[in-house]
Amino acid sequence: MFSRLLRVHPDKVQRTEASYAFKDGRAFEVRFTHHARARRLRLSVGDEGVRVTVPPRVSERTVDQFILSHLDWIREHLDKMPAPDRAPVQLFETTHLPLRGEHLSIAWRHGKTDKVWREHATVHVQVRGDATQGPASATLKRAFRDFYLNEARADVGRWLPALAEATGHSPVRISYKIMRTQWGSMSSRGVMALELSLVLGRPDAFRYVLVHELCHMRHHDHSPAFWREVEKHFPEWQDERAFLHTHGRGMKAALKAFIA
């Protein structure tokens, strides 16, 4: 039903995060706040995900049982969470495009086809026809999606050879998807899926998720052994997880503004 996530440092005895799963296999994460004055377990779902306030001297087993008894409530509230508002891309008005933690300038033009490509710090967007305002067409949105796919594949292509050699594992195939809550997954057959909006954020966060999924080829859970493996290959993993907790929903919304 669930898998625990423990900090790997022996001097930190209180876990701060854990991974759980609904009955359909969809995973979600819980962040814990240990509060000396709290009198009871308290559960909340907000912009930063699922959070549980833990009073002193409450065991992990009790916390796990509390969360599992509220799975339906958690799922209902997660599904109701709106994505951050982000205006859809507008022809010749949207001035910047997010990529790798930066916002690149957009240079608009007219042409025979809808097309998106990058030259250094400028993204060129060619629009078919003579429209000078309004939302992007379906074909232009596909061009933006293809642009992001190519950029994401380029990043993974640079990182994967060294990481596969270090971890001793390489996926048989990688796909890029739009995921509501997850950042990646690894099937038992070695098929990796990565959230496409990772290419909008800072590269280290993207690389952390890639390492995370590669480590699942050795450990198929979120056991302490798994997190030791992650830390071995990516010591700064906690910083990048925190980055995704803070900025992840905004990244997903920004991608949607360009391709949905």
- Taking only the tens place, the pLDDT of each residue in 98-157 is 999 999 999 999 999 999 999 999 999 999 998 899 999 999 999 999 999 999 999 999
> Tens digit of pLDDT for each residue in 148-182?
999 999 999 999 999 999 999 999 999 999 988 78
Provide the sign of the torsion angle of the four alpha carbons 234, 235, 241, 243, taken in this order: negative
Return the pLDDT at 245.
81
Of 138, 118, 119, nearest in space to 127 by CA: 138
Contact criterion met (CB below 8 Å) for 94 and 106: yes
Q: Pick the residue with more confidence: 23 or 84?
A: 23
Q: What's the average model confidence in pLDDT over 40-47?
A: 84
> Tens digit of pLDDT for each residue in 193-217?
999 999 999 999 999 999 999 999 9
Q: How far apart, in Å, are the Cα atoms of 229 and each of 150, 159, 177, 213, 214?
A: 29, 17, 25, 11, 10
Supply the pTM of this predicted model.
0.72
Domains defined along the chain, listed by start: 2-80 (no CATH), 142-259 (3.30.2010.10)
Q: Which of 63-72, 95-104, 181-190 has the weakest average pLDDT?
A: 181-190
